[in-house]
Structure 1
Amino acid sequence: MSTSDNYRIEVEAVAEFVEEQSNPDDDHYVFAYHITIRNVGKVGAQLLSRHWIITDGTGHVQEVHGQGVVGEQPTLAPGETFEYTSGCVLETAVGTMHGSYQMTAADGHRFNAEIPTFVLAMPRVLH
């Protein structure tokens, strides 16, 4: 068994445009994203912090660092999942997000769980 099998977190993200909170005339586009974090490793792990890289349609990059997610620092035993929903505001109708969660395993090992890139897009903007 390799060390990487012990510390494996899968992250799935689904984004949606929040039309009722957006105002395209003022370059104000609100997106919600639904995250599922799954511990597919062999050791329990706690999510301590997050690092997001948000890029809008003009290429402007914003980085966000913070403790936990939605006010929590969940601990996931092997096989467990944690789900949450959060939001993001862009000045363009399209953008992307990706990043990582900083984790500490039950045995003290620290590692990053990568958050794959996902697209934020107002409907009918992308083909």
Structure 2
Amino acid sequence: MVTEITEGVRVTVETEYQPEYSDPSQSHYVFTYQVAIENNSNFTVKLLRRHWEVIDAGYPQRDVEGEGVIGKQPTLEPQQQHQYVSGCNLKSGIGKMKGTFLMERITDGKQFRAVIPEFTLIAPYRVN
């Protein structure tokens, strides 16, 4: 588990390799990651956009950008949390991801980028 705090918004990520959906003989490795976004600021904030950098060892970096997360743009009051699970597939079985969420404070419209901490994606047998 990794955590980063930006302007009172805490982003925590946990990952898990999914062997039942992976096929190493076909260079197909599937991972899930659970993201928790916790608003520890004094302001109500809304998640507008996401930007991910996906690094797959030996392959070009992929950038993923779009509105919200899994089809939602959650608004978080102070001390509220939003969690979701998503996934990523790699060809090498070894990689990492990081990124940002574009957040907006509701009271004054100030936007800022909450950092999504870098996390690794490693198929367990690749560790040896």
TM norm structure 1: 0.91
SS of the aligned residue for 1:42 comes to coil
Q: Any conservation in 2 of the 1:7–1:105 contact (CA below 8 Å)? A: no
1:6-34 Cα deviation digits (max 9, x unpaired): 94211000111111111101100110000
User: Counterpart in 1 of 2:60?
Assistant: 60
Q: Matches of 1:80 and 1:43 in 2, distance apart?
A: 11
Q: Any conservation in 2 of the 1:7–1:43 contact (CA below 8 Å)? A: no
Q: Amino acid of the residue matched to residue 62 of structure 2? A: Q
Task: Give the superposition deviation at 1:59.
Answer: 5.2
Identity %: 37
Q: Any conservation in 2 of the 1:17–1:30 contact (CA below 8 Å)? A: yes
SS of the aligned residue for 1:20 comes to helix
1:88-120 Cα deviation digits (max 9, x unpaired): 011011100000000111121111100000011
Q: How does 1:78-93 map to 2 (within 5 A)?
A: 78-93=78-93
Q: Matches of 2:44 and 2:85 in 1, distance apart?
A: 22
SS of the aligned residue for 2:95 comes to strand
Q: Any conservation in 2 of the 1:102–1:110 contact (CA below 8 Å)? A: yes
Gaps of 5+ in 1: 1-5
SS of the aligned residue for 2:58 comes to coil
User: Counterpart in 1 of 2:3?
Assistant: none
Root-mean-square deviation (CA, aligned residues, Å) is 1.4
Q: Matches of 2:87 and 2:122 in 1, distance apart?
A: 13
User: Counterpart in 1 of 2:121?
Assistant: 120
Q: Amino acid of the residue matched to residue 90 of structure 2? A: L
Dislocated runs of 4+, deviation >4 Å: none
Gaps of 5+ in 2: 1-5
Q: Amino acid of the residue matched to residue 19 of structure 1? A: P
Task: Give the superposition deviation at 1:58.
Answer: 1.5
Count of residue pairs the alignment pairs up? 122
